[in-house]
Structure 1
Amino acid sequence: MTNQTVITNSYRPISGAGEFDFDVAIIGAGTAGMAAYREASQYSDRVALIDGGPLGTTCARVGCMPSKLLIAAAEAAHAGSRTPMFGVRYDDPAIDGIAVMKRVRSERDRFVGFVTEAVHGFDKGEIIREYARFEDDHTLRLSSGRKISARTIVIATGSRPAIPQALFAAGERLIVNDDIFDWTDLPGSAAVFGAGVIGLELSQALHRLGVRVRLFGRGGQAGPLTDPVVRQYATDIFSGEFPAIWNADTRISRKGETVAVRWGETADQEASFDYLVAATGRRPNIDKIGLENSGLPLGKTGVPQYDPLSGRVGDTHIFIAGDAAPGLPLLHEAADEGRLAGENAARFPHSYKRSRRTPIGIVFSDPQIAMVGASHASLLARQECHFATGEVSFEDQGRARVMGLNKGILRLYAEHGSARFLGAEMIGPSAEHIAHLLAWSIQANMTVEQILQMPFYHPVLEEGVRTAFRNLNHALGFGPNPPLRCVDCGPGA
């Protein structure tokens, strides 16, 4: 984040350090809060980091790290299923659920420990292990009853699972995805509600670990995908591996010690499960911090209206960052927002906008899903933007076929006229790595022609990316469409 623009500041500047207990008070010690603390501490030693809940960040405790531990176990269990095509056969895996979950919990606790040590290692300001609520725009009441005041405040309170009311019919058999990582053994069955990133990852992982799974989604959602071609490809792939209903109308009830789920046009299909897992998204933790006592401008959802390029709420001295804000609930985004909010809060009223990094979203399913730059839906919503699309299928891509990973499709988008590369959506092999190459190209403001001048080795998966860009170049009118299996592409590239 480099480019800077001074924010026009109509809010009354605050002066006199002795007027407040702290220069900056940060509510929340997650990824965004820790980043804000580090940044603000470069400008002041009067910074308070306030959090009465468990330390360790959402990512380390219940998010990206423990979920990847579960996925890693699932990949190990599934590895042998691909080998018969190579003339190699293994016995069916013997899955020890207790051992699987022991490693998940142990490594999860290790990651959490690193984060906790980092918070306790902060050597400036003050770490306050209490909850906080707004008394007014400059005053926070702590859970002990003590009041503190701050010249500026950063809201970095994170998020929690959002559970639709209908799911509570499952009673104590209802769990959220966070609870999975405290299991001591794998259950026999689970109904997963929500086909977003978390729901997809957990459904496939649990299925591969021997749990009887059925995924229930709404509206045809498949992870974050918005391109209908890629989304349909994804739903077809996952439906071929485990039972999934992508637009389910369900009825939930208890059936002894299990949860009964009925679905279908006349609710004529039913299955019982040990658990109902709510993977139905997350909501910002802003409803219990006394925002009604502040003068902050709130949106329809109750989230403060803020500038994502500065983190500043309206024209006030209050900033917001991470999952507490309605942006992308991703660790690297939260860290960026935390640094931005911390710097601006410490330097207030000299606050600045910063250009943001190119968005990247990855689903660690198999095949992986990736979103880079502008999504298909966002481009359709831009009335002034006319874009072309190029694509490639990985089903006949040379290296993908060699490895037996030839499932997937990549769709690229570029602006007509300028030929500037805008975004991509894909499902396919090594999407987590291809996504980074595409994001770097967008952030470098490269055109399709410039990207095609970059080196491509043979045989690699990236040759498929080049084919997609060649098709995109043709759609823009800048070159011929490459012939199928062209010689310089390499066989099947």
Structure 2
Amino acid sequence: MRELACDVAVIGAGTAGIAARSAAEKAGARAVLIERGPGGTTCARVGCMPSKLLIEAGRAAHDARETEPFGVAAGAVRVDGAAVMRRVRRLRDDFVASVFAGLDAVPEELRVSGTARFADTTTLLVDDHTRISAGAVVIATGSSPSLPPPLRPVADRVLTTDTLFEIETLPESLAVLGAGAVGLELAQAMARLGVRVTLIDPAAVVGGIRDPEVAACAAALLGPGIDLHLGATVDAAERVGDEVRLTWHFESGGQGGGTFARVLAAAGRPPNLSELDLAAAGLALDEDGLPDFNPRTLQCGTAPIFIAGDANQEHPVLHEAQRQGWVAGGNAARFPQVEAPPPWPAFSLVFTDPQIAAIGRGFDAEAARDWVIGETSFADQGRARAMDRAAGLIRVYAEPDGRLTGAAMIGPGIEHLAHLMAVAVQEGWSAATFLDRPFYHPTLEEGLSSAVKAVAERTGGTR
């Protein structure tokens, strides 16, 4: 067995792992990267990027059908499902290749291929070929899609985000289980591409929206074109020829069912921790096998072990995974001296059309009694009307003194408005400070400034 010594061993070559190795190296550590295929990061290979490619194909089809309000006759729209999926894979492969190109810069002697497990707190065994002795370890093993138990009898007809983008063409019909960000995005994209889509979720809202006003607006705007069943739980699945028959029940009572060409399980991605033998590392684990860790330092207990990215389930989005990788890798290199940088504001985006965002403090009905809430609708927002996209809602939250603490919003161009709001919350701006910034006319950003102005008017912050 090969013996290898290093200052920091990073398990996982995804977004968090790559960032952790870079941070450790920058801090002067000899850092080894342990990678288990297929590689290329979850984002580039099966997550952010291929899903956006599918979403953009759906947007193109939708926009081509919706030209009449502008006095433009576009004619019939034909979707070539096989061509759509070929483009998704071609560009997806380009993104993955760029990740591999970056990894090629890591010296070969500092890269180990295989499945790692702990022999003790700072000793790792990689398959049966390498023993690594490290000063500290970063766990960045990512996550994998889960298969809900009712779907196990028809597993061969079930798609996940790991397999969806490999299908040769679009199915005639698709049942999507899970109306969170991923399920909602893919359901709408597929529906716009001509697939008959049914979306099922036990929750009463789409996209994980906590603000009831924004949630109601989202269901109204995103429901058309999709057979939406909220508050519904799938009970059973069976094969019917080449299709799948699902049955479900509603929390409010009653049952439903349907037959579909394929089923997409989009109900979560648990962390990849089971093969690490964390007990051998001496870590205390919860009932789900997740070690106790400090969400700011990312250290597991008092051990020289850090956990970052999707592996810790704290914030399973790329920008957070990358930052966590930098924090974990730097702290592993400096151990036992560790740093605890302040957290970024909570920030989530759903790339549907219209887009959805939540920033900062999440809505809480009881706590909100003491908040100041500014609200504006896109229904009469000038730029949105010019774009024929005048639908949506922004709700901005603030303390009684006008300090901005969060927002929930749905509407056109929300990904850009949400970034403005995230900066305002992180910097601790008041409504007055926010409004003392230039907002060009006519832009969608004026919709956000209108909501903030409503806060300012209630907190004495307007001129």
| TM-score interval (norm. to shorter) | over 0.9
Q: 1:256: which partner in 2?
A: 241
Instruction: Please state whether the residue corresponding to 1:280 is helix, strand or coil.
Output: coil
The 8 Å contact of residues 31 and 334 in structure 1, kept in 2 or not, is answered as yes
Instruction: Please state whether the residue corresponding to 1:372 is helix, strand or coil.
Output: strand
Instruction: Please state whether the residue corresponding to 1:55 is helix, strand or coil.
Output: coil
State how far apart, in whole Å, the 2-side matches of 1:439 and 1:268 are: 41
Q: Does 1:296 align with 2:283?
A: yes
The 8 Å contact of residues 41 and 125 in structure 1, kept in 2 or not, is answered as no
The 8 Å contact of residues 45 and 125 in structure 1, kept in 2 or not, is answered as no
Change (3 A) 1:171 1:344: closer
Instruction: Map 1:452-467; keep pairs closer than 5 Å.
Output: 452-467=435-450
Q: 1:277: which partner in 2?
A: 264
Q: Does 1:218 align with 2:205?
A: no
Q: 2:36: which partner in 1?
A: 52
State how far apart, in whole Å, the 2-side matches of 1:45 and 1:165 are: 44
Aligned partner (choices 218, 239, 246) of residue 230 of structure 2: 246
The 8 Å contact of residues 201 and 364 in structure 1, kept in 2 or not, is answered as yes
Q: Does 1:445 align with 2:428?
A: yes
Q: Does 1:306 align with 2:290?
A: no
Instruction: Map 1:18-29; keep pairs closer than 5 Å.
Output: 21-29=5-13
Q: 1:35: which partner in 2?
A: 19
Instruction: Map 1:23-102; keep pairs closer than 5 Å.
Output: 23-44=7-28, 46-102=30-86
State how far apart, in whole Å, the 2-side matches of 1:131 and 1:221 are: 39
State how far apart, in whole Å, the 1-side matches of 2:376 and 2:446 are: 10
Instruction: Please state whether the residue corresponding to 1:162 is helix, strand or coil.
Output: coil
Q: 1:372: which partner in 2?
A: 359
Change (3 A) 1:66 1:470: same
State how far apart, in whole Å, the 2-side matches of 1:342 and 1:268 are: 50
Instruction: Please state whether the residue corresponding to 1:187 is helix, strand or coil.
Output: coil
Instruction: Please state whether the residue corresponding to 2:453 is helix, strand or coil.
Output: helix
Instruction: Please state whether the residue corresponding to 1:128 is helix, strand or coil.
Output: strand
Amino acid at match of 2:266: A
State how far apart, in whole Å, the 1-side matches of 2:212 and 2:399 are: 19
Q: 2:95: which partner in 1?
A: 111
State how far apart, in whole Å, the 1-side matches of 2:349 and 2:58 are: 18
Instruction: Please state whether the residue corresponding to 1:94 is helix, strand or coil.
Output: coil
Task: Spell out, residue by residue over 1:369-420, the C-alpha distance to the aligned partner (whole angstroms, 9 max, x if none).
Answer: 111112114xx5869x93221111101111111110111001110012x321
Amino acid at match of 1:303: L
State how far apart, in whole Å, the 1-side matches of 2:358 and 2:66 are: 26
Change (3 A) 1:465 1:403: same
Instruction: Please state whether the residue corresponding to 1:376 is helix, strand or coil.
Output: coil
Q: Aligned-pair distance for 1:223?
A: 0.9
Q: 1:471: which partner in 2?
A: 454
Q: 1:192: which partner in 2?
A: 176
Q: 2:192: which partner in 1?
A: 208
State how far apart, in whole Å, the 2-side matches of 1:440 and 1:124 are: 40
Change (3 A) 1:450 1:187: same
TM-score (normalised: structure 2): 0.94
State how far apart, in whole Å, the 1-side matches of 2:95 and 2:315 are: 22
- Spell out structure 1 runs of 4+ moving beyond 6 A: none
Instruction: Please state whether the residue corresponding to 2:33 is helix, strand or coil.
Output: strand
Instruction: Please state whether the residue corresponding to 1:244 is helix, strand or coil.
Output: strand
Instruction: Please state whether the residue corresponding to 1:93 is helix, strand or coil.
Output: coil
Change (3 A) 1:424 1:88: same
Instruction: Please state whether the residue corresponding to 1:252 is helix, strand or coil.
Output: strand
Task: Spell out, residue by residue over 1:216-235, the C-alpha distance to the aligned partner (whole angstroms, 9 max, x if none).
Answer: 11121311311011011111
Q: Does 1:435 align with 2:422?
A: no
State how far apart, in whole Å, the 1-side matches of 2:366 and 2:276 are: 35
Q: Aligned-pair distance for 1:314?
A: 1.3
Q: What RMSD, in angstroms, separates the aligned Cα atoms of the two structures? A: 2.0
Q: Aligned-pair distance for 1:146?
A: 3.0
The 8 Å contact of residues 124 and 131 in structure 2, kept in 1 or not, is answered as yes
State how far apart, in whole Å, the 1-side matches of 2:256 and 2:336 are: 61
Amino acid at match of 1:195: A
The 8 Å contact of residues 13 and 140 in structure 2, kept in 1 or not, is answered as yes
Change (3 A) 1:98 1:121: same
State how far apart, in whole Å, the 1-side matches of 2:448 and 2:41 are: 35
Q: 2:121: which partner in 1?
A: 137
Instruction: Please state whether the residue corresponding to 2:225 is helix, strand or coil.
Output: coil
Q: Aligned-pair distance for 1:270?
A: 3.1
State how far apart, in whole Å, the 2-side matches of 1:478 and 1:299 are: 47
Q: 2:317: which partner in 1?
A: 330
Change (3 A) 1:81 1:269: same
Instruction: Please state whether the residue corresponding to 1:354 is helix, strand or coil.
Output: coil
Q: 1:317: which partner in 2?
A: 304
Task: Spell out, residue by residue over 1:342-382, the C-alpha distance to the aligned partner (whole angstroms, 9 max, x if none).
Answer: 111011112111123333211110000111112114xx586
State how far apart, in whole Å, the 1-side matches of 2:305 and 2:458 are: 47
Q: 1:353: which partner in 2?
A: 340
Q: Aligned-pair distance for 1:315?
A: 1.6
Amino acid at match of 1:296: L
Task: Spell out, residue by residue over 1:433-487, the C-alpha distance to the aligned partner (whole angstroms, 9 max, x if none).
Answer: 001111111122100111122222222212211211122223445569xxxxxxx
The 8 Å contact of residues 29 and 333 in structure 2, kept in 1 or not, is answered as no
Q: Aligned-pair distance for 1:145?
A: 4.4
Q: 1:160: which partner in 2?
A: 144
State how far apart, in whole Å, the 1-side matches of 2:76 and 2:244 are: 29
The 8 Å contact of residues 46 and 125 in structure 1, kept in 2 or not, is answered as no
Task: Spell out, residue by residue over 1:300-347, the C-alpha distance to the aligned partner (whole angstroms, 9 max, x if none).
Answer: 422111112111111211111000012111111100000011111011
State how far apart, in whole Å, the 1-side matches of 2:233 and 2:11 are: 39
The 8 Å contact of residues 20 and 151 in structure 1, kept in 2 or not, is answered as no
Change (3 A) 1:109 1:233: same
Q: Aligned-pair distance for 1:264?
A: 5.2
Task: Spell out, residue by residue over 1:278-301, the C-alpha distance to the aligned partner (whole angstroms, 9 max, x if none).
Answer: 000110111111012121132342
The 8 Å contact of residues 36 and 341 in structure 1, kept in 2 or not, is answered as yes
Select between 437-446 and 28-37 the one with higher mean Cα deviation. 437-446
Amino acid at match of 1:338: G
Paired residues, number? 458
State how far apart, in whole Å, the 2-side matches of 1:195 and 1:118 are: 34
Task: Spell out, residue by residue over 1:108-165, the C-alpha distance to the aligned partner (whole angstroms, 9 max, x if none).
Answer: 1111011011112113861001110011101111112432211100000000112221
Change (3 A) 1:313 1:110: same
State how far apart, in whole Å, the 2-side matches of 1:42 and 1:249 are: 48
